[in-house]
Structure 1
Amino acid sequence: MNQENINKYISLRPTYKKLSEKVGQIIEELLDINNINYHAVFYRAKTIESFGEKIKKPKYKDPLSELTDLAGIRIIGYVEDDVEEISKIIENAFDVDPANSMNKSEDLGVDKVGYKSVHYVCTLPSSRTSLPEYRRFDNLKFEIQIRTILQHSWAEIEHDKNYKFTGELPPEIQRRFKLVAGNLELADREFNQLSRDIDEYSREIAKSTEKGELEINLNSTALKQYLAIKFKKLIGEERLEPSFNGSNNESIILMELRNFGLSTLSDLDMIITPEIEKQINKYEDEGNFLGLCRIIMLASDVKKYLSNSWNNSWGTLAEDHRLMLSELNIDVDFIENYMEENLIPARNKAH
């Protein structure tokens, strides 16, 4: 009987594989549309070997209809609030089977620590299965797991059958193992609270910026909020990307701004003269906050930027920035010639 079920699953597995891919892609699109931060979305169809092992359990009378994880999707968020937001999206996007869905953290009880995850058993809604490309997935179940990145790390270590932490361990090692799990849970909560605190700080910066209260020390969050409000028209027109194009660039531009002599948002605001702001709004196109800050400093004082802030790692101006600086009567050829003459080749930077 088991072999018969295995043979049936072999023939059905390509459908479950395609189902997991489709659902995974839907989830990625929904997370992006809703601006939800997430680390990764994984999807897979259960392997033939895993299916064969699972149906050996006597509780399965008709495994192909009883097993709910033949197609599986795992969503890794960063903090617990992300998991909550992602869960709402899943509940709205799919038909959830509440009887077979659960929150593993609630199942742990008050006296235990360890594996935490939100599990949903779902089917595609009729709004999708009525479409030709989804019709073959009608009534097929799939499982969605949602975890934080720390919960994911813990689960991978604890549940890997080939790793040394599995099986029955000596009591002292078991106790230490659970202590580590408890510390991870505390760390997860602290990261979540830190995330909330950063969001609250961002809101406070935004309110202060709107009021013109700019005596705020330069840092990544403050700078990002200030620029997002100052140049919101450009962002709305999709002519300016509200990012520094990488967290490392945030540190780089903060160093450049400080070397230029700026320590607060007020200092930065003072060098953005009405004429500079006018030219930025006129010419800025397809840029980001990194280039914007650099062009503001160049427009304010070319020699000061080149001697104090320029980090010898870039030497080409975008065409919109060339036009912008030219209209401000700044010699762009001088800038690029200076940079070309003093540029440190990438291969020599480590020396």
Structure 2
Amino acid sequence: MDVFQDKFNHWKNGLLMYKFALDEINTKLNILNEEFQFIHNHNPIEHIKSRIKDPSSIMNKLNRKGLSVTLENARSYVLDIAGVRVTCSFVRDIYKIHEMIASQDDINVIQTKDYIKNPKENGYRSLHMILEVPVFLANRTEYVPVEIQIRTIAMDTWASLEHKIFYKFDQDIPEKLKKELKLAADTVTALDDKMEYINTEVDKIKYTSKVSNV
């Protein structure tokens, strides 16, 4: 029992750094959202959700990679221990948030994967970033990896459904459902495009009205 407790405490203490990193990135995102609202009268971020991967999930991932299950390997090879999901109304907001985050002087962008311009085969769309976020401790500063997934509300709804189906069928989704999910993904893309168009038209009308009243 003592050995188990020691191991549990070792992992718990080791993952605390990721909690601090999430606090840092959530603060940054909220500040950027409020600043954008103040300047442009528009909130690019609809919702922020963050989580730290469960130790058992981290261990399973290390096993799948063929690595020893150690905290040191987790820190080196599992870059999504700390994760943030950001949802937006419009696709343009996704790239605006990406730009604002990447321009932060104290953040290092390790990796960006654009599954919006290049969707996965199953139709999954989202923008993924792996960042190194500074965590300021009493006697040192540590850079901790955080994964950010940025997507529209429609993309997030599709991803949530696909995730549930994926695990209900133990990762082996019937071909018929795969086709239905792909069709739904195409519908989501069309919806996002239509919403983007409507939003652009609103901006044009507002601008024309403003100019005509000068």
The alignment's TM-score, normalised by the length of structure 1, stands at: 0.51
Question: Residue 139 of structure 1 aligns to a residue in which SS?
Answer: strand
Cα distance, 1:209–1:158 mapped onto 2, change above 3 Å: same
Structure 1 residue 206: Cα displacement: 0.8
Larger Rg: 1
1:96 equivalent in alignment to 2:96: no
Cross-structure match for 1:147 = 151
The RMSD of aligned alpha carbons is 2.7
Cross-structure match for 2:195 = 191
Structure 1 residue 103: Cα displacement: 0.9
Contact 1:5 1:63 in 2 (8 A): no
- The separation in 2 between residues aligned to 1:67 and 1:115, in whole angstroms, is 22
Cross-structure match for 1:67 = 78
- The separation in 1 between residues aligned to 2:148 and 2:7, in whole angstroms, is 24
Cross-structure match for 1:39 = 46
Question: Residue 116 of structure 1 aligns to a residue in which SS?
Answer: coil
Structure 2: gaps (5+ residues):
38-42
Greater relative CO (CA pairs within 8 A, separation 6+):
2
The AA in structure 2 aligned to 1:180 is A
Cα distance, 1:161–1:179 mapped onto 2, change above 3 Å: closer
Name whichever structure is richer in strand by fraction: 2
The AA in structure 2 aligned to 1:182 is D
Q: Which moved more, 1:7-16 or 1:66-75?
A: 7-16
1:49 equivalent in alignment to 2:56: yes
Structure 1 residue 174: Cα displacement: 2.6
Cross-structure match for 2:89 = 78
Structure 1: gaps (5+ residues):
211-351
Cross-structure match for 1:121 = 130
The AA in structure 1 aligned to 2:195 is F
- The separation in 2 between residues aligned to 1:208 and 1:177, in whole angstroms, is 46
Identity level (%): 22
Count of aligned residue pairs for this structure pair:
199
- The separation in 1 between residues aligned to 2:208 and 2:122, in whole angstroms, is 36
- The separation in 1 between residues aligned to 2:158 and 2:84, in whole angstroms, is 18
Contact 2:17 2:144 in 1 (8 A): no
- The separation in 1 between residues aligned to 2:124 and 2:27, in whole angstroms, is 26
Question: Residue 201 of structure 1 aligns to a residue in which SS?
Answer: helix
- The separation in 2 between residues aligned to 1:173 and 1:132, in whole angstroms, is 49
Cross-structure match for 1:87 = 98
Cα distance, 1:57–1:173 mapped onto 2, change above 3 Å: closer
Name whichever structure is richer in helix by fraction: 1
Structure 1 residue 171: Cα displacement: 3.1
The AA in structure 2 aligned to 1:154 is W
Contact 1:158 1:166 in 2 (8 A): no
Contact 1:118 1:146 in 2 (8 A): yes
The alignment's TM-score, normalised by the length of structure 2, stands at: 0.80
Render the CA deviation track for 1:11-49: whole Å, top value 9, x for unaligned.
212221122122112111112112242211112211122
- The separation in 2 between residues aligned to 1:17 and 1:165, in whole angstroms, is 32
